Amino acid sequence: MSTQIEQEQTEEQTDAETAEPAEQSPQDRRISEKEARAEAREREEQAREEVRDADDTVRIKVFRYDPEVEGKSEPRFDDFSVPFFKGMTVLDALIYARDHYDSSLTFRHSCRQAVCGSDALFVNGQQRLGCKTQMADLEGPVRIEPLPHQDVVKDLVVDMEHFYEQMEAVEPYFQPDELPEGEREEQRQTPENREKVKMSTRCIWCGACMSSCNIAAGDNEYLGPAAINKAYRFAMDEREGEIQKEDRLEIIEQEHGVWRCQTQFSCTEVCPKDIPLTEHIQELKREAVKSNLKFW
C-alpha cells in the first residue's frame, strides 16, 4: 500500500513538473516588461558611468538587422562606446555592448580561443575572428558586419547551411581500402606525410575563406577553398585508400571544383589559422592532371 502511495505521489510530482506554466495575465506581462526596461536602463547608465571613468574608450559601429521585428527590418548601423582595456578583442567589445546597451544584439561565439570558428565577422573591411582580433590593432571607429556573400539571419549571424553542405560534399572522412589486421593496431603515418598535411588539418570551419572568395560569390555551386582544403587533407594522407583517393579527385576536379579557382590568394590572406589554401588548391590541380594522364 505504501509503495502504491509513493508511486502516485511521484506521478503527481512529475505531472506538476512537466505541466506548462500558466499564461501571464496582461497586468503581469506589463509589470515584467516594465521591470525589464528598468533593468536595461540601469545597465545602460552603468555603461555610461564606466565609459566616463575609463582611461580610454573605443567606438564600434555594428550592423543591425532583424527581419522579424517591425522597425528593425531595414539594415542600419548602431554606435556603441566601450571602455577599452589591454588585450580587448572585437568579441569582448561586442559582448560589452550586448550586456550593457542592447540585449537584442545577436552574434555567435563559443570557445573564445580561435578554435570553434563561430565568431567569424567582417571587421573594418576584412574577414576576421572576433575573439582573435585585437581592438588595439584596428583604426576606429571599428566597423563590424556579418560575413559578406552569406544570407543574414539577424544582426551579425549568417546562414551557414550552404557552407556546411559544400564541406560535406567532399566526404571529409577517411575511407581506407583496408584496415589493419590487429584489433588494436594503428594506421601508421610517417612523420613526413604528417608534416605535409599538418596545416590543412587546422581548418576550424569558420567560413572566412569562402566569404572572401569572389568566385564563390558568383558561383553558388563552387566547392570553395575550405571544402577543397578538406579534400586535400584526406587525398594527400598516405593512409587514404587509393580507390577513395581517385574518387575524391573526381569530386574536386568537376566543373565547379578546383578549376574554378583563379588563384587570387584572398582565401589565404584571411584564413585565421594561416592555412596556405591557394597552394593546396594548386597542388590538387596537379594531382588531378596526373590522375588523368595515360601512357601507352
Mean pLDDT of the chain: 87
Predicted confidence band of residue 27 (pLDDT cuts 50, 70, 90) = confident
Instruction: Convert 173-192 to b/e letters by CB count within 10 Å (16 or more is b).
Output: eeeeeeeeeeeeeeeeeeee
Please give the pLDDT value at position 69: 87
C-alpha cell belonging to residue 153: 539571419
196 Cα distance to chain centroid: 26
Predicted confidence band of residue 145 (pLDDT cuts 50, 70, 90) = very high
CA-based nearest residue to 176, from 164, 165, 159, 188: 188
DSSP label at 126?
E
3-state secondary structure of 147: coil
Please give the pLDDT value at position 295: 52
In this prediction, what percent of the chain has a pLDDT beyond 90? 64
Higher pLDDT, 266 or 19: 266
User: What is the average pLDDT across 48-74?
Assistant: 84
Please give the pLDDT value at position 224: 95
Tell me the C-alpha distance between 9 and 7, whole Å.
5
Please give the pLDDT value at position 16: 47
- With 70 as the cut, is the pLDDT of residue 3 above it? no
**pTM above the 0.85 mark?**
no
Tell me the C-alpha distance between 258 and 249, whole Å.
10
Please give the pLDDT value at position 221: 94
38-157 architecture in CATH?
A: Roll (3.10)
- With 90 as the cut, is the pLDDT of residue 283 above it? yes
- With 60 as the cut, is the pLDDT of residue 74 above it? yes
Tell me the C-alpha distance between 252 and 287, whole Å.
10
Angle, helices 225-235/242-252, rounded to nearest 10 degrees: 160
Tell me the C-alpha distance between 7 and 55, whole Å.
63
pLDDT tens for 210-268 read 999 999 999 999 999 999 999 999 999 998 888 888 888 899 988 899 999 999 999 99
User: What is the average pLDDT across 188-217?
Assistant: 95
3-state helix, strand, coil split of the chain in percent (to 5) is: 45, 10, 45
What sign results for the dihedral spanned by CA atoms 98, 103, 106, 112? positive
Please give the pLDDT value at position 1: 44
Please give the pLDDT value at position 207: 97
Please give the pLDDT value at position 21: 54
Q: In the chain, what are the domain boundaries?
A: 38-157, 161-177+191-292
- With 80 as the cut, is the pLDDT of residue 8 above it? no
Q: Which of 12-21, 29-38, 258-267 has the lowest mean pLDDT?
A: 12-21
The CATH topology of domain 161-177+191-292 is Fumarate Reductase Iron-sulfur Protein; Chain B, domain 2 (1.10.1060)
Instruction: Convert 157-170 to b/e letters by CB count within 10 Å (16 or more is b).
Output: bbebebbeebbebb
Assess whether the region 38-157 and the region 161-177+191-292 belong to the same CATH fold: no
